[in-house]
Amino acid sequence: MTLWLALAALALFVLTIGCAAAEVAHAPVVDASRLPPLGTEWRTENPYRGNAEAEAVGRTVFNQSCARCHGADAAGGGSAPDLRRLDGFCRAIGDAKLRHDCMVDNDVFFRDSVLHGKVRVGVVHMPPWEGLLPQEVLWAVQAFVESQRGK
Task: Select from 4-12, 41-49, 79-87, 89-97 the region that touches ligand HEC (CB under 6 A).
Answer: 79-87
Ordered DSSP codes for 77-99: -SSS--GGGTTHHHHT--SHHHH
Looking at the chain, the number of H-run helices and the number of E-run strands are 6, 2
Name the helix (H) or strand (E) containing 119: strand 118-120
Q: What are the φ/ψ torsions at residue 125 (nearest 5 degrees)? A: -80, -30
Name the helix (H) or strand (E) containing 67: helix 67-70
Rule CB under 6 A: say whether 149 interacts with ligand HEC.
Answer: no
Give the number of other CB atoms < 10 A from CB of residue 91: 12
Residue type, 104: V
Rule CB under 6 A: say whether 68 interacts with ligand HEC.
Answer: yes
Rule CB under 6 A: say whether 126 interacts with ligand HEC.
Answer: yes
Rule CB under 6 A: say whether 69 interacts with ligand HEC.
Answer: yes
Name the helix (H) or strand (E) containing 124: strand 123-126
Task: Select from 6-14, 29-37, 44-52, 80-88 the region that touches ligand HEC (CB under 6 A).
Answer: 80-88
Rule CB under 6 A: say whether 110 interacts with ligand HEC.
Answer: yes
Least distance CB 150 / ligand HEC (angstroms): 17
Query: Which residue in 30, 35, 83, 103 binds ligand HEC (CB under 6 A)?
Result: 83
Rule CB under 6 A: say whether 81 interacts with ligand HEC.
Answer: yes
Query: Which residue in 30, 32, 54, 86 binds ligand HEC (CB under 6 A)?
Result: 86
Q: For binding to ligand HEC (CB under 6 A), which residues are involved?
A: 23, 65-66, 68-70, 80-81, 83, 86, 110, 113-114, 118, 125-126, 129, 141
